[in-house]
Structure 1
Amino acid sequence: MNFEPSARSKDYLERVKRFVREHIEPAESRYMAQLHADHAGGDWRRWRVPPEMEQWKARAKAEGLWNLFLPDATLGAGLSTLEYAPIAEETGRSFLAPEVFNCNAPDTGNMEVLWRYGSEEQKKQWLQPLLAGEIRSVFCMTEPEVASSDATNMQATAVLQGDEVVLNGRKWWSSGLGHPNARIAIFMAHTPNPDLDRRQQHSMVLVPLDAPGVTVERMLPVFGDHDAPHGHGEVRFDNVRVPTSAVIGGLGRGFEIAQGRLGPGRIHHCMRCIGAAERALELMIDRGMGRTAFGKPLLNLGGNRERVADARIAIDQARLLTLYAAWKLDELGALGAMTEISAIKVVAPNVLQKVVDDAIQLHGGAGVSNDTPLAGFFAQARSLRIADGPDEVHKGVIARIELAKRGFSRS
């Protein structure tokens, strides 16, 4: 195996770096401060995207830095997961860069679902405007009334009635729900069928957010921040009726599709974590060498140099493991890389959380303010340890696979 980026990957990476350095970084602090000022405690229905975002997106599209995540040369950059990984890392250094290049979650995962499993009608109606960056999308899976770490607990339903599917249920932590350009949600629900295995009784359904019966109830703050203008919302579906043509891939295929969706997406999340950890380490070093206490640079006090060394070791280990997972995903598919994908979902957010925590400590009060990206990175790390499945679930998957190698059953 060879983790050296291809020539195409290197070219895109250098162009992305230059774009971020020349256009995004000079405006990032002001942009984020404006977001916090405009949306603090306000009505999410009045959230707006600052005009710079659309300007950056237009420039990125014109420069060919668009849909870099999609392994389809006609619709995106045509990069493999391994080729895209270092680019995802670079965009992870900024809260703004993923959207600028139309590579932000949950849209990337939703676009991959439609690209892989969608009908021609679904692609025309929803995938094309998503790929163009004209609309945003939402993924509705987690539910407030059950332990969503076990997706078979799902209470929301998608039931066939004639030539329609009727949807009922409540979802929360539906990311992107507050975005003013959000138009479509992928709703995952239980489709009861006692004749099938429990993992063949769930469906993914496309639901326009303006459909009758869809009610967005609130945005949920993460450590007090509503993550405007994207947001993470709670939404209710009351007898929402959509045509059967809105079902992705057919009723009962939800788990199969989810596995295809989550594999590449988890690589993207983890590489962005590594990029954020790199930036946190840089901020930690600059702060530690730029401030003095007791006659010495902060970095020369209290074991801080060891913390820098530990961070470098941990970040590089996480990167290598994630690149290995990306390589294995490309070679064997999501099922063939299950151990590695589960492992990086534990490792990368935990590494980011530890590195950011040390960087916050060196920054003192500034580290928990909005004057640096550290508080946002910490919230990102801590929430990701839940968002794509809790650490414990991923460790359980790894343990089950290891036991199976020794001939022990699932029990």
Structure 2
Amino acid sequence: MRRVLSPDEVGNTAARFGEVIGHVTISETIRVGSEDYEILIEIPPHENYVKSPIRVGGDFIGIVTLTGGYVVLGRITEIRRSHAAGVSGRTPIFNVPMDYTGLETPAVVLIEPLTECPIKDYEADNCDPSPVHSPIDPLSVAFRPSGDTIARLLALPSDGIIVGQLYSGGRAMDVDVKVPVHTLYEHVLIVGTTGSGKTTLLKNLALALINQVRESAVIALDLQGDYLHLVLPPDRDVKPRLFNPLSEITIVVPITRAYLEEYNGRIRSFADEYVRVRTGDDEATLMDVNDPTLFGEAVAYALLREFVERSYGDARVSDVKPCFEVDGNNVRIRSINAVISVDNTSFKLNLVPWALSFINVYRELPRLFPIFSYRVSMIFGKVISLAMDLVNRKNINCGDRLSRRG
């Protein structure tokens, strides 16, 4: 048997979920169907409609039902306004009076029902929202739901890292959207058209992990340089700002032959600049350096300056600390640490120049790049050894022999 709540009970209950703004109309039949609905809310003109404007397509409205004890979440799909003259049936044909007091009529709002939850389950923190099937009676109380109510009735995750805010009706709402941390231990696919915000979402996800999850690390394979700017504030002031920029970033730069060919001139120029400052000789160049330590410092500085200028524009570089090994006349640069200042922002940059010598690592490729099948991984070393042997012998039929031996 359904229990009918008193108006005071319904109003007090609705007030716990948000701001009471009106009630389900008594002027029309309320219809809830599997494919059709007609739920009309009347909102008084001054107390709520003018003071707290509502919009079509994005604003949510909640309803506490008189019978059944349900809280319902809906979205505004239509707003109807009438002048008092039209309601009374006395609309003049000519000389329409500009009588603004005639707007003292309730706003009638059409609601698209989204989800419902028993009030007792909601208050017991055991709400599992479902599509709306329960009847909605006239005089049921309507309220503007709080952010927490919207999140719970949309079944948004309550725990996890914040990646943004709910976007509805062309604006961000005060409703946090979270991703449970455990889901990030699995594969996640983000799809969308060009410019829809895939990269922005991933960058927010990276910042959220580092800001909110202790001892977390984010590794990005960044071919376009999208993630280099995680150390900088956003281009525009977003309120509230959800994430703080990184104070430190480590960047691994592949030093390929193509890279050296493209940036050789700039690297030499920065290295020569360093040598002149260190030696005090305005004519000195990198080619004049015989000291391996000075040579390593100059090249490390040049690699850092070239990268920073290309990635962060007119930034200031300070506190440069290269880390390298000297073996006779050979220098191996491990990393270059520095403080980078852009406008009013400073961050620590750890730059790691990186390269692989194929002849030294090819046997480890199945382990470094697990894209091979198990069978191929097992025979990979033998295949490469045979290929290298045939190449060293300059056997012009090595391809045919590999095919037959495979």
TM superposition score normalised by structure 1: 0.24
Task: Pick 1 or 2: higher relative contact order, CA cutoff 8 A, min separation 6.
Answer: 1
Larger fraction in strand: 2
Which protein is bigger by CA-based radius of gyration?
2
In the superposition, the TM-score normalised over structure 2's length comes to 0.24
